[in-house]
Every structure is written in structure tokens, then in C-alpha cells.
Structure 1
Amino acid sequence: MYKIAVLGDYDSIYGFAALGLDTYPVKNPEEAKETFLRLAEEKAGIIYITEACAAVLKHEIDRYKEQLVPAVIQIPGVNGNTGAGIDGVKKSVEQAVGSDILFGDN
């Protein structure tokens, strides 16, 4: 059975533990990279990752983009929403259905 992991700074992810998800707080980019790669290799089914953390791990996340597992989903952190998470979901939907479902084809 796959696990669901949440990766990011402590303040942004601690609430997910109450939902029963495995949380992995990180303090710096090196720790984030090491933890992300370990989770991906351990076959986490879904990795929720804060947008700030994902920004520094773009190369590592891209390695898993075409694979089914893990699904990497960006979430906003306590420091605000950059819009990267919404953009990622929008691009995935566009690829799956062939058009922009929010704004339609222009």
C-alpha cells in the first residue's frame, strides 16, 4: 500500500498529521532534496510538497513527472501562494483533456 507524504517547512505542514498523513518537515534545500528522493524511492504514492520547497527541487521533481508514482502535488505554504500549484494542476488537466478547462481554447 502506498503512503501519502507531506513535505515542506514545519509551520506549513504540521496540520496534515491530524489527517493521518505522514509529514516530513525540512529546514533547508539539502534536507528537502534528500527527503524527497528517499520518499520517491520508497514508493510514496502521493507527495504533497509546499510551493517554496518545490521551487528548489524543480529538477528532482521533473525526474518523476512522467511516472505514475509518486504523484507530486504542490500546496501553498504559510508564506502564501505563488500560484505554482494551480498552474501545475491546470497543465496536467490540459494535457489530459486537450484544452484549458478554466478558460477554454482561444
Structure 2
Amino acid sequence: MYKIAVIGDYDSIYGFATLGIDTFPIHDENEAKTKLKELTGGLYKIIYITESLASKLTEEIEKYEEQITPAIILIPGISDNTGEGINRVKQSVEKAVGSDILFGNQ
């Protein structure tokens, strides 16, 4: 069975454990790179990552953008949000339905 993981700072991710999602609090960029590589090579097919952490791992995350799995999904954290998570969701929906669902065709 495939699993779901979330990585980021503890305060941003601890609530996901109540949903049965495996949480991995990260303290620095090197630890994040190691953990992302570990998670993408195993049973985890969906990996949520906080926007602030993802902004430090752009190169690593881009390696998986064209693959079906693992799906790496950016989520807002407690602080240092970039807005990239909502932009990526918006782009995916636009690609799927052919228009911007928030503002219509502009």
C-alpha cells in the first residue's frame, strides 16, 4: 500500500499526524534534501512539503515534476509562505479544465 508524507517545520505539519499521514519535521536544508530523497525512493507516492522548505529545494523537486509519482504538493506553512503552492494548484486546474477557475479566461 502506498503512503502519504508531509515534511516541513514541526509547527506547520504536526496536525497532519491526526489524519494518519506520516510527518517528518525538518530542521535544516541538508536534512530536507536527505529526507526528500529517502521518501521519493520508497512507498511514499504523495509528499506534501511546506512552501518555505520547498523554496530551498527547487532543484530537487523539479526532478519529479514530469513523473506521475511521487506527487510533490506544496502547502502553506505557519510562516514564510510564498504563494507558490496555490499557484501550482491553479496551473494544474487550468491545464485540466482549460480556464482559470478563480478569474475566468483573461
The TM-score, its normalising length taken from structure 2, stands at: 0.92
Structure 1 residues 26-53: Cα deviation after superposition (integer angstroms, max 9, x where no partner): 1000100110111111141110100001
Structure 1 residues 7-27: Cα deviation after superposition (integer angstroms, max 9, x where no partner): 001111111111111001110
Confirm or deny that 1:72 pairs with 2:72.
yes
Alignment partner, residue 32 of structure 2 = 32
Deviating beyond 3 angstroms after TM superposition, the runs of 4 or more aligned structure 1 residues are: none
Counterparts of 1:103 and 1:84 in 2: how far apart (Å)? Answer: 17
Counterparts of 2:42 and 2:62 in 1: how far apart (Å)? Answer: 17
Q: Following TM superposition, by how much is the alpha carbon of 1:80 offset from its aligned partner in structure 2, in angstroms?
A: 5.1
Counterparts of 2:50 and 2:28 in 1: how far apart (Å)? Answer: 13
Q: What SS does the aligned partner of 2:32 have?
A: helix
Q: Following TM superposition, by how much is the alpha carbon of 1:82 offset from its aligned partner in structure 2, in angstroms?
A: 2.4
**Number of residue-to-residue matches in the alignment:** 106
Counterparts of 1:67 and 1:102 in 2: how far apart (Å)? Answer: 27
Confirm or deny that 1:101 pairs with 2:101.
yes
The TM-score, its normalising length taken from structure 1, stands at: 0.92
Counterpart mapping for 1:1-106 below 5 A = 1-79=1-79, 81-106=81-106
Q: Is the Cα–Cα contact under 8 Å of residues 52 and 80 in structure 2 kept in the other structure?
A: no
Q: Following TM superposition, by how much is the alpha carbon of 1:64 offset from its aligned partner in structure 2, in angstroms?
A: 0.6
Counterparts of 1:96 and 1:66 in 2: how far apart (Å)? Answer: 15
Q: What SS does the aligned partner of 2:49 have?
A: strand
Q: Is the Cα–Cα contact under 8 Å of residues 46 and 70 in structure 2 kept in the other structure?
A: yes
Structure 1 residues 37-77: Cα deviation after superposition (integer angstroms, max 9, x where no partner): 11111141110100001101111111111111111111111
**Unpaired runs of at least 5, structure 1:** none
Counterparts of 2:5 and 2:49 in 1: how far apart (Å)? Answer: 8
Q: CA RMSD in A?
A: 1.2
Q: What SS does the aligned partner of 2:69 have?
A: coil
